[in-house]
Amino acid sequence: MHLAATNTDLWHQLFGDQAEPPAAIVLVTAAAALFIVFVDGLWRPARNVITIVHEAGHALTAVLAGRRLSGIRLHSDTSGLTLSRGKPSGPGMVMTAFAGYPAPSVLGLLFAGLLAADKLAVLLTVCALLVLGSLVMIRNGYGILLLVVAGAVLFGISWFASDQVQAGFGYLITWLLLLGGLRPLGELQRKRRRGRARDSDADQLARLTGAPALFWIFVCGLIGLGCLGVSAVWLLV
């Protein structure tokens, strides 16, 4: 009986509806995320979050496409690399190369849907699974350190923070994914104009498909803007 009651309480805690936070939290966290994305000194450390999700997007898509995942590397300059084995061309490789840049925006859309449905605990659980899943596949020391720190922060917020702090974190990470998922596309195109980043995801897609790299940047941008627009309606209206 005690075990059954405990399981029921855990299920309710994870999947039951949480109290809707004050509207001020939604607006303040949106403004804070926008500030973080536009201020270079804040964006650089925050960009690590975007990189983790970017590389996780590559990794998950590679597995779903039937490729063999070799590992993920996260670097101190906020770049990352996901290696997989399989055919060097074809739909699976195209899907894997494409998945990185839209991943933060798509995850932000998922989080916005969870927040709109008052499922903050599920959002925190997804964050924990993302960190743990990425940690298993990390193949360099900096990447391990980065994910251990991220996991420690997440653990502290999930277990020791008040409901309002947890809600603030949930909304902040959601806005950061939605807004921060767009800035790397602009950064990439600026690098490409200077003749750099010729091995970027967009350039790999250009070689794989024949469509120009700028087309793929534009498509990723449209996806990101679409996710931001839908999420804003869910969270603000």
**Three-state secondary structure string covering 113-151:** HHHHCCCHHHHHHHHHHHHHHHHHHECCHHHHHHHHHHH
Per-residue confidence (pLDDT) for residue 18, from 0 to 100: 63
- Residue 133, domain member (yes or no): yes
Q: What percent of the chain lies above the pLDDT cut of 90?
A: 87
**Predicted TM-score of the model (pTM):** 0.91
**Structural domains counted in the chain:** 1
Q: In the prediction, which pLDDT does 10 show?
A: 43
Q: What is the pLDDT of residues 223-234, one digit of tens each?
A: 999 999 999 999
Residue 197 binned pLDDT confidence (cut-offs 50, 70, 90):
confident
Q: Does a structural domain hold residue 83?
A: yes
Higher pLDDT, 2 or 66: 66
214 pLDDT above the threshold of 50: yes
Q: What does the pLDDT read at residue 26? A: 95
Higher per-residue pLDDT: 34 or 199 = 34
DSSP secondary structure of 79-124: -EEEEEES-SSSHHHHHHHHSTTTHHHHHHHHHHHHHHTT-HHHHH
Orientation of helix 213-236 relative to helix 23-38, angle to 10°: 160
Average the pLDDT over 212-222 and give the result: 97
Give me the pLDDT at residue 50, please: 98
- The pLDDT, as a whole number, for residue 51 is 97
Residue 156 confidence (pLDDT): 95
Give domain status of residue 134, yes or no: yes
Between the alpha carbon of residue 173 and those of residues 66, 70, 127, 215, 229, the distances in Å are 30, 28, 10, 28, 16
- Position 9 scores a pLDDT of 47
What value does the mean pLDDT take over residues 2-28? 62
Q: 39 is in which domain, residue-wise?
A: 21-186+226-236
Residue 145 lies in a domain: yes
Is the model's pLDDT at 101 over the cut of 60?
yes
Residue 33 lies inside a defined structural domain of this protein = yes
Q: What is the mean pLDDT of residues 152-166?
A: 94
